[in-house]
Amino acid sequence: MTDNPAHGAFDESAELRQLRDEAQSLRTELDETNQGVLALYAELDTQAEQLRQASDLKSRFLSYMSHEFRTPLGSILSIASLLDDELDGPLSPEQHKQVAFVSTAARELSDMVDDLLDLAKIEAGRISISPAWFDMLDLFSALRGMFRPIVDASAVDLIFEEPEGLPRLFTDDKKLAQILRNFISNSLKFTQRGEVRISASLEGEREIRFAVTDTGIGIPPELHGALFEDFIQVDSPLQKRLRGTGLGLSLCKRFAELLGGRVGLQSKPGVGSTFYVVIPLALAQEHGDES
Ligand SMILES: Nc1ncnc2c1ncn2[C@@H]1O[C@H](COP(=O)(O)OP(=O)(O)OP(=O)(O)O)[C@@H](O)[C@H]1O
Ligand SMILES: [Mg+2]
């Protein structure tokens, strides 16, 4: 069969034609796929835009709502404190107890509203970072003072390790304090005996790590990834007795990002947890000036 050259040529051109046809149909198919992909991209764009608008609306709603809540909550708190001080006449012990319930509930609601407002502000890109030079010793002593009433009433020790040989920081100390305050208050909430230890150490040459380590109930490994999301709480018997909204850690994460850093944790159920934040020693200035 193959020794007939004419037949061979015929064979070849038929084969070529077939290949060409196949190539052509592949090209047509590719073109169609391309168009499909383009259409999908366009649709994704529209959806992303819609999502952005929805998220904007949500942020705006949250900030208006939380803002409006603050005034009435403030008056509930001050009226409760007026009543408690017996400025308008004496209260019975039972009434004192009831007034205390009112102010505890109002304070919790007001903390939650503050957290929501912060989250909404971050989402709307409206939170401002004001870095300044400051000493960590001042930060630690402010935190120590803030937690003294809670620590005095509990069996857990709160230990601030002396920050040795660490430079001054140039960052937003209020945001950093807010992160550490959340970590410490969590640790105190979820630790029934032992200690909560706060330390600071250099991480490489340009960063500093703050760690809050407790000897508390710990967190199962499968939940470590989700914990920094909004409203995530671990289901435990202790949790049921405690208050909280599950926004603290997600705020910590966002504040850390605003400070150019990151958060993380190591934790073992029944042994304890370490929550840390690593941030640059000096926050880069937006216009590149270091002054
Ligand atoms: N040190 C810790 N030990 C054990 N569990 C923790 C610890 N820190 C956080 N968690 C778990 O992570 C959850 C989320 O913490 P987060 O601070 O976000 O919320 P919260 O403390 O419950 O409420 P909020 O901070 O908004 O008042 C907690 O409810 C708890 O289940
Ligand atoms: Mg918390």
Q: What is residue 186's DSSP assignment?
A: H
Residue 249 has pLDDT above 50, yes or no: yes
Give residue 184's pLDDT.
Answer: 96
- The architecture that CATH gives domain 132-280 is 2-Layer Sandwich (3.30)
Q: Which of 184, 128, 141, 173 is nearest to 279 (CA)?
A: 173
Residues with CB under 6 A from ligand 1: 115, 182, 186-187, 190, 214, 216-217, 219, 227, 232-234, 239, 244-250, 273
Q: Which ligand is nearest to the CA of 112?
A: 1
Ligand 1: centre distance to CA 273 (Å): 11
For residue 111, give the amino acid letter.
D
Q: What is residue 229's DSSP assignment?
A: S
Residue written as token pair 């640059």: 280
> Is the four-CA dihedral 7, 8, 10, 15 of positive or negative sign?
positive
- pLDDT for 195-222, tens place per residue? 999 999 999 989 999 999 999 999 999 9
Mean predicted confidence (pLDDT) in 65-77: 87
- pLDDT for 171-190, tens place per residue? 999 999 999 999 999 999 99
Give residue 289's pLDDT.
Answer: 42
Ligand 2: centre distance to CA 39 (Å): 44
- As a whole number, the mean pLDDT across the chain is 88
Q: Ligand 1: which of 249, 250, 275 to mutate, judged by most atoms within 8 Å of the beta carbon?
A: 249
Residue 9 has pLDDT above 80, yes or no: no
pLDDT band at residue 288 using 50, 70 and 90 as cut-offs: very low
Ligand 1 atom closest to residue 234's alpha carbon, by position in its atom list: 31
